[in-house]
A and B are shown apart, each in its own frame.
Chain A
Amino acid sequence: MKQYLQIIKNTWAEMMMYRLNFVLWRVRWVVQRLVVYFLWWAIFAGRQEVFGYSQSMILTYVLLGNIVGTFVLGTTTMDIGGVINQGNLSNFLIRPINFFRYYLARDIGDKLLNLVFAVVEIALLVFLLRPPVFLQSNIWYILLSVVAIGVAAFLYFFFSLLLGFFGFWSADVWAPRFLSFVIMEFFAGGLFPLDILPQPLFHFARSLPFFYFIYFPIKVYLGQLSLTSVMQGLVTGLVWVGGLWYIARLVWKKGLRVYTAEGK
């Protein structure tokens, strides 16, 4: 346990090493959220309701999307492809440390640091922009949304891990990751609540794991799902986590068989 706590601390030190890089990374996150926020603010000009959402609901969705997105999608597993391609994976294989747990610890460090900054940024934006936000008063919805966020974080961790394992078979790991970003940008619900889509497209989106990254946890928080739907969603999310974990382990074992430590 101590070694994984040290890994978390090392991750923080690493992230703060290039401070300008980190600051601009945070600026970028804020700019992205502001773009979405102002878009919806403009759409609601002269309107009380759009797609069954009030202005406060949508703006709460967008602002929460920043916090949830920062926590769920913040990851260090994007390095894995490069680690494999450059042969640096050998360093991990000879150490008495579990590769999956190592990157999980790094991810926890990454997520915690980004979460702290995201909360401060959102608080600042709320103070400056004074949007009409919706505050959930039902403690159960709050707790369930926290659970949903946890499930989403694990889901994205294993998904990103799998993308990194492309490195075992290809020198180019960025192309599949770029494609996944494009798909996630739409189907994770960061830009808009997915239920504004036509029903066939919404049902398709619900069948994908990205549905549980941002859209589902925020819907739980907003209290717009029945308890049954929430439970169904959480169970489905956990099934996805289990499935991706299993596939990740399978791909990891197959990858190790073909790993040749090229570059070392």
Chain B
Amino acid sequence: MTLTFNSFQTSLTSRTSAFLFLTGKLLRFVLFGVFLFALFAKTSRIADYSVLQAVIFYLTYNLIDTTAQLFFREVYRFRQQVVSGDFDLVLVKPSSPLFRALAGGADPLDLFMLIPYVGSLVYAVSRLGTIEISTVGLYVLLLINGFLIATGFHILVLALAVVTTEIDHAIMIYRDITSMARLPVDIYREPLRSLITFVVPVGVMMTFPAKALFGLLSPGFTAIALMVGILFFFVSVRVWRCALTKYASASS
């Protein structure tokens, strides 16, 4: 809580910056939405999904992506800790270095952005018609699973930074690949679809929750999704532990 509070205070020090960043994030959300509507104005359906379903896929992507950025903003600042040697000071403290590197600096701007995302999502889902409680429950469960996979990705990026000090482009490559899920991954052709669903589990992370909400995800695939999420998370933690053994301090 203290780390989060401190981070919030730091982020809001410059109100002009905070306003510009917030405007940028909001614009990014709105402008891609404009592109989506322009697309559906001419094509009516893509991969058998309607415009409302595509909007829900897009909002689900934003929800998971923004929640990950909210909690893991510190990952973007990790490189400086490693190259300056400040990470040594984190390692000697009686707290988890992984937790500190991962979640030591939440971003309040992403918290503000969750408000329109959740609001739009609730509105869009209400337009779907009759929805069963079980499908909503499954949707929430797979959202949590998606967040677990996102956590795994961020841990892998941290591990890469410890070993190579390269993180800036690695985290942005992760963001670029996950951006493929702004639309349902079903629209992509094979073998790309399988690649980004199971090998780089972007589809499991972002597309499966919405598919469950539409009643399009079988129990088998739901179980696979949960297994992939848990396995991916545990593998990433193992990789982090292995990377720490290779850590060479710059100085401190």
A residues adjacent to B (C-beta < 8 A): 20-21, 24-25, 27-28, 31-32, 35, 38-39, 41-43, 45, 47, 50-51, 170-172, 174-176, 178-179, 181-183, 185-186, 191-192, 196-198, 201
Contacts and interface: CB of A to CB of B under 8 A. Distances in A.
A38 B20 contact: no
A45 B192 CA distance: 14
Contact of A182 (B31, B39, B177): B31
A32 B176 contact: yes
11 contacts: A25-B169, A28-B169, A28-B172, A28-B176, A38-B188, A43-B46, A170-B16, A174-B17, A175-B20, A178-B20, A186-B32
Interface in B28-78: 28, 31-32, 34-35, 38-39, 41-43, 46-47
Contact of B27 (A27, A35, A174, A182): A182
Given A24-B173, A50-B42, A176-B20, A182 B28 contact: yes
Contacts of A181: 24
A182 B24 CA distance: 6
A198 B166 contact: no
Contact of A178 (B21, B41, B42): B21
Contacts of B164: 20
Contact of A179 (B27, B34, B42, B43): B27
A209 B37 CA distance: 24
Contacts, number: 94
Interface in B139-193: 164, 166, 168-170, 172-173, 176-177, 179-180, 183, 187-189, 192
Contact of A175 (B16, B169, B183): B16
Contacts of A41: 188-189
Nearest to B18: A175
Interface of B: 14, 16-17, 20-21, 23-25, 27-28, 31-32, 34-35, 38-39, 41-43, 46-47, 164, 166, 168-170, 172-173, 176-177, 179-180, 183, 187-189, 192
A45 B164 CA distance: 41
A185 B182 CA distance: 15
Nearest to A47: B43
Contacts of A45: 47, 187, 189
A175 B21 CA distance: 6
B173 A28 contact: yes
A39 B16 contact: no
Interface of A is mostly: helix
A123 to B, nearest CB: 21
Name the 8 nearest CB pairs between A and B, nearest first.
Answer: A24-B169, A175-B20, A42-B187, A175-B17, A179-B24, A186-B31, A172-B17, A182-B24
B38 A196 contact: yes
Contacts of A186: 31-32, 34-35
A36 to B, nearest CB: 10
B38 A31 contact: no
Nearest to B21: A175
B43 A197 contact: no
Nearest to A178: B24
A55 to B, nearest CB: 13
B153 to A, nearest CB: 14
Given A182-B24, A196-B39, 6 more contacts: A24-B166, A31-B173, A42-B188, A178-B20, A178-B24, A179-B23
B204 to A, nearest CB: 18
A20 B39 contact: no
A176 B17 CA distance: 8
A50 B166 contact: no
Contacts of A182: 24-25, 27-28, 31
Contacts of A25: 169
Contacts of A42: 46-47, 183, 187-189
Nearest to B167: A24
Nearest to B183: A39
A5 to B, nearest CB: 29
A30 B68 CA distance: 24
B177 to A, nearest CB: 6
B251 to A, nearest CB: 19
A198 B38 contact: yes
Contacts of B23: 179
A182 B32 CA distance: 10
Contacts of B188: 38, 41-42
A155 B176 CA distance: 26
